[in-house]
Structure 1
Amino acid sequence: MNSREYIESGILELYVFGKLSDEEIAEVNQMAEQHSDVREEIKAIELAVINLSHSVAPHLSATNYEKIRTELLGKHKVVTMKSKSNWAQYTGWAAAAILVIGFGLQFYKLNQTNEILNNVSTEKNLLQESVVDLELKKKESDEVLAILRDTSNVAVALTGQQVAPKAFAKAYYNKATKAVYIDASGLPTPPKGMVYQVWALKLEPVLTPTSIGLLDTYATSTTKVIKVENAEAPQAFGITLEPAGGSASPTLEQLYTLGKV
């Protein structure tokens, strides 16, 4: 058998992975001494094992990888070996490389599993937040519907004034409970540092404004229907734009809407 036929027989792969008998190992060593292409093929197979272990197990430390690599590359001198002890040392490193590949695959699969679990947990949290948000919106909508359907409530249209002619709002006033709700959906978004303030007005015998609250939840309210303080027999309602925190008396130059009960 010539060297090419010997290489193609597959015996060199078994030699590198330690699957030959002592007699077969001795035969390979003899062929390697006599034929340079056999020696080169053994080196190529060993390098393939090294590269495979490094690419499949990327988490192997540089120190351990170099140690294994050095040992396997040192095996290039195996063609002159005559004793069994050096071969046993080589096969030990080859087994270590195979173990590293196995551990690397297991570690990679574990990381993938953990990543999937983290993604599922994140999606679950987002879903729970969405459900809570929908429940809050439904609750607000139900409250608004209850206000609109309550025949005890008087709807008072508040029309835009000189500072904001296109603005509008609506007050829902319950004469029995004195409760007041303001639908502020027709008001423009207040500038930063400003807030809408609601006034219950008595027109006779003299104009008397009484603050019944701030629409300070305007930005966060989804329905823009906001409950303010109770009012005692108001004759009109007005809404002004005031500095954050409100004012003791209405700024008439910033009167946005006004309407009689």
Structure 2
Amino acid sequence: MNSREYIESGILELFVYGKLSEGENKEVLEMAAKHPEVQEEIIAIEKAVVSLSENVAPYLSVANFEKIRAKLQDKHKVIPLQPKKNISQYMGWVAAAVLILGFGIQLFKLNQSNQALDNLTAEKIGMQQELAALTLEKQETEKVLAVIRDVNTIEVALAGQEVAPNALATAYYNQLTKEVYIDVSGLPAPPEGMVYQVWALQLEPVLTPTSIGLLDTYTESTTKVIKVDNANEAQAFGITLEPAGGSPSPTLEQLYTLGKV
């Protein structure tokens, strides 16, 4: 096979793209050493591929192209690019490379769009959850304000006792509906494993405590005003610190606050 037939066989294009075996690469290098026209054809293919790849995808890096570009920068090896009649032989390979690069770019853009859509969806869900929480908080606040502002509601100050002189609370007692709300903002956080328990007290003819609820939502309430059970004829309210789950009768040694109606 003479040099012209060798050039037109298409093996040089495969050599530039790194698709040959070690033995075939050795054969091409030997032919290039023997025939200057073969060496010129290799360099022409390399320059054409580099030029086209930079125009199509200037931000993509391919190892083979970097090696080719470095080779072309060697002043002693650069040969001016000459028009070749057989350029159509390797244009098919270049077109395939361009197609692959274009497909990769489109796939990358599609992934970016999908990621952006996922982010927007997650952000929307987060905003909906936040809005729902704010709506519940607003409803809770409005309900508490309605009870406090009711003309039948009286405010009972519950002062700190010996075990916690700095503690304080407020009972809002609607004498018509018998509803009771406790403002716990002045109470210290209960120790782990303990809970505040609210008692409605009858003072006469004998002291009679009735449990009307646990303040177990102490840390969850946004308004710090917690509704407990109704109290039918309460003459006073007291709050004690009890083991989790509450006690059947108040632990007077742990009486935190007390106030008369």
TM-score of the superposition, structure 2-length normalised?
0.70
Distance verdict in 2 for CA 1:215–1:225, change over 3 Å? same
SS of 1:210's partner is strand
Matches within 5 A, 1:237-252: 237-252=237-252
For residues 99-147 of structure 1, the C-alpha deviation after alignment (integer angstroms, 9 at most, x for no partner) is: 1011011101101111111111111111111211111111111112111
Matches within 5 A, 1:173-252: 173-252=173-252
SS of 2:93's partner is helix
Distance verdict in 2 for CA 1:89–1:194, change over 3 Å? farther
Which runs of no fewer than 5 residues in structure 1 stay unpaired? 1-15, 17-31, 59-64, 67-82
Please tell me whether residue 97 in structure 1 is matched to residue 97 in structure 2: yes
Which runs of no fewer than 5 residues in structure 2 stay unpaired? 1-15, 17-34, 65-84
Quote the residue 1:132 is aligned against. 132
SS of 1:242's partner is strand
Using the alignment, how far apart are the partners of 1:251 and 1:164 within structure 2?
14
SS of 2:247's partner is coil
Quote the residue 1:258 is aligned against. 258
SS of 1:234's partner is coil
SS of 1:113's partner is helix
Quote the residue 1:46 is aligned against. 49
SS of 1:130's partner is helix
SS of 2:117's partner is helix
Stretch moving more, 49-58 or 122-131: 49-58
Quote the residue 2:106 is aligned against. 106
SS of 1:114's partner is helix
Greater helix content: 1
Using the alignment, how far apart are the partners of 1:146 and 1:132 within structure 2?
21
Matches within 5 A, 1:53-68: 56=60
SS of 2:139's partner is helix
Please tell me whether residue 162 in structure 1 is matched to residue 172 in structure 2: no
8 Å contact 1:215–1:226 — kept in the other structure? yes
Using the alignment, how far apart are the partners of 1:57 and 1:121 within structure 2?
34
Quote the residue 2:73 is aligned against. none
Quote the residue 1:148 is aligned against. 148
Tell me the number of residue pairs that the alignment of Structure 1 and Structure 2 aligns.
209
- Residue 188 of structure 1 deviates from its aligned partner by 1.0
Percent identical: 58
TM-score of the superposition, structure 1-length normalised?
0.70
The AA in structure 1 aligned to 2:219 is: A
